[in-house]
C-alpha cells in the first residue's frame, strides 16, 4: 500500500509513538509485506529468525522490536510490538469506511455492465465495461474489475486475509488494506471467495475461469487463462502461473509457485512448489505417472507375499 502523500520517518514514528533510527526527514512512501516491498516501504518484523530477511529486503524502513545495526541507506522504527503498530498504520492510512448504500457513490461502473439486484458494491470499486454481476455478489472497497467479466451469485471479493498472531488472550488479526484485481475476460462461479491482499493485490489473471465454491487467499496471483474447478482451496501468497489447470477439491499451502501449464488432478494436496508443463496427483502432490506406478506396485504386494510363502 502506497500512502496518499509521502511522509517522513519522524511523522511515522509520531503516529505509532515509537523511537526511530535514521534521519528525521527520511522518506516513507508506503507499507507492505515482505514479498511485495519496494524502496520507500515499511516492513515489520517481530522475530529474530526473520531479522536478516527484513533488514536485507527491498524495504527501506524496518519496523522492528529490537534496536539492531541499521543497514546503510535504511531506517528503523523501534517498537515493542511491530504487529500492533503495523495495524495502527493501516488504521491511520486506510481506515474502515462504513457504507450507507448498496452501491457506493464513489464506485465507477463501465458502459453496458449489468448489476443484478441485492449486490453490494463498496467504496472506490472500479468495474469495467460489458460485465455481468449476478445477484447477491459482494464486492468490497477498492476492488478493480476489468472488462467482459462475469461474476455469479453469492461470490465475495475482498474479505480480510486469514492472518493472525496468537496472543495469551486470543488471536489478533493483521488488518488488510490491499485489493482484489480481476482482469479482463474472467469468469467467476457462484459462491467463490477471493480475499484482498494484506497490503498488496490478490490478482486473477486475464481469461481465467473459476468454477463454483473456490477460495483464493490473500496476495495470491492467478495467471492468465487458468482453469480452476469447484471446491479448490488456495492459501495466501501463492503464485499460479499462466494456463494452469486445477481440478476439483485440490488444496494448496501458502507461499508456493505452480509452474506454467501444470495440471493438478482432483483432491491433490500441494505442499511445495511444482514445476510447469507436468501433471500431478496425490497428497503430497507428485507427478501423476510416479504416483500411479507406486499404486500399481502396492497392488502387487499380496501376490509377491504369496509367492514368498511358497518359496519358504
Domain ranges for the chain: 2-93, 108-291
Whole-angstrom CA distances from 97 to 5, 139, 206 are: 20, 14, 30
pLDDT of residue 303: 77
pLDDT of residue 312: 62
Mean pLDDT, the chain, rounded, equals: 95
pLDDT of residue 300: 78
pLDDT of residue 152: 98
pLDDT of residue 182: 98
Residue of 309 and 119 predicted with greater confidence: 119
Q: What is the mean pLDDT of residues 167-193?
A: 97
Burial class (CB in 10 A: 0-12, 13-18, 19+), 276: middle
Structure confidence by residue, pLDDT tens digits, 48-85: 999 999 999 999 999 999 999 999 999 999 999 999 99
Q: What are the two backbone dihedrals, phi and then psi, of residue 126, each rounded to the nearest 5 degrees?
A: -120, 125
Residue in 7, 134, 152, 218 annotated catalytic: 218
Q: Are strands 179-182 and 114-115 parallel, antiparallel or unpaired?
A: unpaired
Give the position of cell 524502513: 61
Q: Does residue 288 register a pLDDT over 90?
A: no
Determine what percent of the chain is predicted with pLDDT higher than 70: 100
Structure confidence by residue, pLDDT tens digits, 124-169: 999 999 999 999 999 999 999 999 999 999 999 999 999 999 999 9
Q: Are strands 279-281 and 286-287 parallel, antiparallel or unpaired?
A: antiparallel
Cα gap 276→259, rounded to integer Å = 4
**What one-character-per-residue DSSP string does 240-290 give?**
E-TT-EE-TT-EE-TT-EE-TT-EE-TT-EE-S-B-SS-EEETTTTEEHHH
Structure confidence by residue, pLDDT tens digits, 238-254: 999 999 999 999 999 99
Does the annotation count 218 as an active-site position? yes
Q: What are the two backbone dihedrals, phi and then psi, of residue 213, each rounded to the nearest 5 degrees?
A: 55, 55
CATH number of the domain located at residue range(s) 108-291 in this protein: 2.160.10.10
pLDDT of residue 289: 81
- pTM as predicted: 0.91
Determine what percent of the chain is predicted with pLDDT higher than 90: 92
Q: What is the mean pLDDT of residues 15-22?
A: 97
pLDDT of residue 295: 75
Tell me how many degrees the CA angle 129-132-133 measures, rounded to the nearest 5: 115
Residues paired with residue 204 on neighbouring β-strands, in sequence order: 182, 222
pLDDT of residue 259: 98
Instruction: Tell me which of 3.20.20.140, 3.40.50.150, 3.40.630.30, 3.40.1390.10 is the CATH number of domain 2-93.
Output: 3.40.1390.10
pLDDT-derived band of residue 309, with 50, 70 and 90 as boundaries?
confident
Cα gap 156→135, rounded to integer Å = 11
Amino acid at each position: 500500500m502506497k500512502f496518499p502523500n509521502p511522509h517522513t520517518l519522524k511523522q511515522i514514528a509520531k503516529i505509532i509513538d515509537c523511537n526511530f533510527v535514521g534521519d528525521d526527514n527520511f522518506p516513507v512512501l508506503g507499507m507492505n509485506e515482505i514479498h511485495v516491498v519496494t524502496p520507500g516501504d515499511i516492513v515489520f518484523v517481530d522475530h529474530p529468525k526473520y531479522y536478516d530477511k527484513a533488514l536485507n529486503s527491498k524495504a527501506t524502513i524496518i519496523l522492528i522490536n529490537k534496536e539492531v545495526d541499521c543497514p546503510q541507506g535504511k531506517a528503523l522504527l523501534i517498537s515493542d510490538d511491530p504487529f500492533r503498530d503495523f495495524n495502527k498504520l493501516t488504521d491511520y492510512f486506510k481506515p474502515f469506511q462504513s457504507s450507507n448504500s448498496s452501491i457506493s457513490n464513489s464506485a465507477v461502473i463501465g458502459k453496458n455492465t449489468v448489476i443484478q439486484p441485492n449486490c453490494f458494491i463498496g467504496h472506490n470499486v472500479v468495474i469495467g465495461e460489458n460485465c455481468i454481476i449476478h445477484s447477491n455478489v459482494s464486492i468490497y472497497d477498492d476492488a478493480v474489475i476489468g472488462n467482459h467479466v462475469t461474476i455469479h451469485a453469492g461470490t465475495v471479493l475482498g474479505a480480510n486475509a486469514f492472518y493472525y498472531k496468537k496472543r495469551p488472550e486470543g488471536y489478533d488479526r493483521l488488518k488488510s488494506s490491499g485489493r482484489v484485481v480481476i482482469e479482463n475476460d474472467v469468469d467467476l462461479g457462484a459462491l467463490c471467495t477471493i480475499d484482498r491482499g494484506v497490503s498488496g493485490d490478490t490478482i486473477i489473471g486475464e481469461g481465467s475461469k473459476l468454477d463454483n465454491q473456490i477460495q483464493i487467499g490473500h496476495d495470491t496471483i492467478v495467471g492468465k487463462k487458468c482453469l480452476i474447478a469447484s471446491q479448490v482451496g488456495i492459501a495466501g501468497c501463492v503464485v499460479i502461473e499462466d494456463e494452469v489447470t486445477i481440478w476439483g477439491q485440490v488444496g494448496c499451502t501458502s507461499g508456493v509457485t505452480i509452474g506454467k501449464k501444470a495440471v493438478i488432478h482432483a483432491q491433490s494436496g500441494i505442499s511445495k512448489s511444482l514445476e510447469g508443463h507436468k501433471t500431478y496427483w496425490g497428497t503430497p502432490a507428485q507427478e501423476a505417472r510416479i504416483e500411479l506406478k507406486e499404486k500399481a506396485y502396492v497392488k502387487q504386494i499380496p501376490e509377491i507375499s504369496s509367492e514368498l510363502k511358497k518359496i519358504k
